[in-house]
Amino acid sequence: MSELNQVNETKVIEGSPLLNGAGFISIQDFCETFEVAAELVLQEILNNNIFVSCRLNAQPVYWVDDYTKVDREGEKDTDGFVLNSAFTEGRPRTFTGYLKPFHRTHTISNLIEFGFSDETAFRFKTNTLAAAFCDLPGIQLTTTSVFITKVQAERIRAPWVKALEGKAALLAATSAPTALTSAPTSTPALPCECCRPDRAKQLVSSLVEQFLTKKQANWKLDQQRKMATHCGAFVELMNDPQLGALNRQLIWDYEARLRKMPADKHHAARRHGTDDLNLLIALAEEHEEELRSSASVERYMDSLSSMFAWAVDNMLLTHNPAKRAIEKRKKVTRDQDDRSQFDKSDLDKIFSVRWFIAGTGERNKQGRFHLFRPHFYWLPLLGLYTGARLNELSQLYITDVKVTESGVHYVDFNLDGEDKIDLDGSDKSLKTVNSKRIVALHPHLVELGLPDYVKALSDAGYTRLFPELKRDAVKGYGKPAGSWFNGRFLGKQLGMPRDGMRTFHSFRHTFITALNELEVPPDIQSQLAGHSRGDSITAARYRKDAEAERLLSYVEQLCFELPPIMPFVISDGINAVKDALRRKTRIEQ
């Protein structure tokens, strides 16, 4: 880069304490620190789409909550604002703090060409519509009064360092003396606090690859992806260090970086058009976005520690640098309080919607079920009366709903299925081996017509209890069902708070609490819930599960005092499935 002839190479490579930590640095301070021309820095800001800020001190402005209500001088978003309109729309205020010039490109271009830029319109935060306006002649901005975040400043410096180090290496190679006259040089040894010296130069990325490959056979796809994401974050955020550089301080630095990541990385990546974690951190700070929770940081750290622990077990590392590296938050709630069960008012609200009152949904003008699906009716009822997890219910085949010779209907939760994903198994998944179980159907489910609906599905040629659900490659059939119930139904339709306390899983809490209140024997409760059948080896290994007839004697005691529910209109259910599959096929085409 010929432009780098304008910088102090030594200072650029060594860095500066001025860039440590969070906060801002003025463009002038950045230029003086590295003895670099302002034009070069400003051009980098333009090229990298970096936002700039200015700091106001007790500046009189007109504050507007929604700048889209202010008239423009033209019809484009890039056109200037009509100040009289801004003053009419806004309210007088004295402002102290950072604001962003509204038209970044215009501001930077003026600084490059004239050395200053007069500004009258400023954004408060880029993720809000709040803005501030000041009267002519405006506020004159210079490189002294224009700031970038320290993280963005490091982003500008990083490629310079790489280019300068490459240049130095090339010069050293071309001007090196002959072997006869040169003295041997030695590379500084890595401290190797956590590995043997012979593994010191192995990159963490290669360890991640080994770890994921060895664990692949024992992990489901969602677990594979989670661990790849969590361990990959360490590689990216810490610049893929060598094993010899691993130590506690590096882990603490990683934790600090994690806490600056945006709360929802995927949404942030779509919003900003980049999946570069370091850039997303910089943008999150610049836009004052919501950051990752402590619980999320702990999960990332746990995954990293798991990988290092595996490496120690397999003699790839000598110590785990992430073991108990952070002080986790003290849990102040009981496990059973992490989610709420549905109380009487919740159940009344859920089971009073139209499809429960009428036993069917509404048709549109064309006579089709556009907004109703059979799982709207059956999944909440099955969740309440079986306590099963959402994915366990969503993936059921019609052959999983069975009847004994004595006429007791039950659901068999198993891994059997017709749709093979690979040579090793079906498209089903269960949380643990203890999740394999049978649960007797409550008489209310039989009265509402579940066995008859299963037979109608079979007669119509379907193999699944909910053929309208599309399987997600990672989350299974429960993914679309959960999106409907937890989001659109509970949140939007019923208006329940989306705080994670009430979800489909609350049916499971309600079911298990009811069993406990009925003083159902612990082994029966464990079987119905899909938990380990006992604390002792004898109970867990040798006690056999109860038959459906015995289970029914306990399940039929459950009484939730639900509103009146009409039996399911089976013919409408079959038609609703057809309409759903027809619509799904049309969308996929």
SS (H, E, C) 287-313: CCCCECCHHHHHHHHHHHHHHHHHHHH
Domains and CATH numbers, the chain: 2-157 (no CATH), 197-313 (no CATH), 337-588 (1.10.443.10)
Which region, left, alpha or beta, applies to residue 557 given φ > 0 means left and ψ of -120 to 50 means alpha? alpha
SS3 482: helix
Q: Which of 22-26, 29-33, 306-310, 423-427 has the weakest average pLDDT?
A: 423-427
Predicted confidence (pLDDT) per residue in 162-179, tens digit: 777 766 565 555 555 544
Given a contact cutoff of 8 angstroms between Cβ atoms, the answer to whether 529 and 387 are in contact is yes
Beta carbons within 10 angstroms of residue 254's beta carbon:
22
What is the C-alpha separation between 343 and 66, in angstroms, rounded?
41
Q: What is the pLDDT of residues 482-499, one digit of tens each?
A: 989 988 898 889 888 876
Contacts (Cβ under 8 Å, ≥6 apart) of 564:
357
* Residue 522 burial (10 A CB sphere; 0-12, 13-18, 19+): middle
| Cβ neighbours of 521 (radius 10 Å) | 11
CA distance 207 to 235: 10
124-158 burial by CB neighbour count: b if 16+ within 10 A, else e? Answer: beeeeeebbbbeeeebebbbebbbbbbbbbbbbbe
Taking residues 456-478, report their average pLDDT.
89
Residue labelled with tokens 């037979």: 455
Share of the chain above pLDDT 70, in %: 85
Instruction: Find out whether the peptide bond into 567 is cis, omega within 30 degrees of 0.
Output: no
Average of per-residue pLDDT across 154-158: 82
Q: What integer pLDDT is reported at residue 333 of this predicted model?
A: 40
pLDDT, tens digit, 9 for 90 and up, residues 367-382: 889 889 999 999 999 9
Instruction: Kindly write down the DSSP assignment for every residue of 332-365, as one continuous string.
Output: -S-GGGSSPPP-HHHHHHHTTSHHHHHSS----T
